[in-house]
Amino acid sequence: MSDAVYTLVLAMGTAPAPGVNPLVQVIPFALIIAIFYFLMVLPNNRRQKKVEEFLGALKVGDRVVTTGGVYGSITKVGENSVQLQVANNVRIEVAKSAVTGYQGQEPEGTS
């Protein structure tokens, strides 16, 4: 009985066929990872960098729109928030990340 188990274990661990390079088996996986990186990760990183630059460049007087569709003019810029004047004597505080773009332009990070 133990000889049969020993023979089975040896048969399961046989070496690959001669002449087949293990590197050739890895190439398809490397190609899939490279395609995934260039089609998904790299464009997303570029878009995120563009949005961060936009948010960092916000200044008082800019007319912007938020993700909720609120239009207003920036009256104060904080570290994590901006104050928008949406009507005469009506000001609201919103997160900087809620500002999607300038009024009349396509939202940042969508192109």
* Cut 0.85: pTM above it: no
pLDDT digits (tens, 9 = 90+) for 50-87: 999 999 999 999 999 999 999 999 999 999 999 999 99
Please state, in angstroms and rounded to a whole number, the distance separating the CA atoms of residues 75 and 59: 8
Element (H, E) at 82: strand 81-87
Rounded to the nearest integer, the mean pLDDT of the chain is 85
Tokens 């990760």 label which residue? 41
- Residues of the chain with pLDDT > 90, as a percent, come to 66
Name all domains of the chain by residue range, CATH numbers in brackets: 22-102 (2.30.30)
Average pLDDT over residues 11-29: 72
